[in-house]
Amino acid sequence: MNDEPLILLHGWGMHAGVFEPLLELLDPAQQIITPGLPGYRGSPWPGNLPFELQLEAMARELPDGRLLGWSLGGLYAIELASRYPQQFSQVILVACNPCFTRRPGWECALDAAVLDTFTDELRQGWRRTLRRFLALQMQGEDEARPLVRSVWQQMIAVDEPDIAVLDFGLELLKNWDARPSLGQLSQPVNLILGERDRLVPISLRQQIADVASGIQVESVAGAAHAPFLSNPAVVALRL
């Protein structure tokens, strides 16, 4: 077991409670930190504070340790490790694309129009938007409906989300390109992908080598965008 704390960063629209199935399978002696991303449950929203300053504030609050970032949380993990290499010794990315939308020469990503649609729908109602996003995350899973139902109940059990926070996250997913930061990391990086993921295609497994040759990539058979929910034992073992 690694003695350093393992810091888990959740994805868009979620909160740290989403990791519970995974936590139950990790060594109880392992120190686990589950902060909320800025604006999510347990973490204040700094308003119009730029992403870089949000990272600075997070680094002040977090201990030294290993970072695990799922989906949007992976962008935070990459940039935290890039800016504070002495603080964060390893980066584990779960279903995270360093550049979530297609660019010239980067086809293993989403069409930006997908995120634009969610942004437009968010204005009409956060519940429908989050439910649709959740369904897209689980699409391809053998047990997609029970997973959606379970996570949805978790999501609506907490306070109503701040639309500005959700807007910010969608903009980050659409526009932020963490490939330069990822390519310059000196820490070991592991990438865990779901073979059936509709948001982060499995083809990233090949193209990530264009960003950094030393990234260790593993895939989880039968899993979609949340392999730690559908296959928690497999992910726990790989951690």
Q: What are phi and psi of 110, to 5 degrees?
A: -80, 155
Query: Residue 10 catalytic?
Result: no
Beta bridge partners of 70: 94
From 71, 82, 181, 230, active-site residue: 71
> 43-48 contacts: CB < 8 A, separation 24 or more?
45/162, 45/164, 45/165, 47/164
Question: Residues, the chain, total?
Answer: 239
Cα separations in angstroms, 15 against 49, 156, 174, 185: 20, 11, 20, 27
Q: With contact defined as beta carbons under 8 Å apart, do 71 and 78 qualify?
A: no
Query: Residue 71 catalytic?
Result: yes
Q: With contact defined as beta carbons under 8 Å apart, do 148 and 135 qualify?
A: yes
Q: With contact defined as beta carbons under 8 Å apart, do 82 and 185 qualify?
A: yes
From 43, 181, 225, 230, active-site residue: 225
SS3 of 21, please?
Answer: helix
Q: With contact defined as beta carbons under 8 Å apart, do 121 and 115 qualify?
A: no
Which residues form the catalytic set? 71, 197, 225
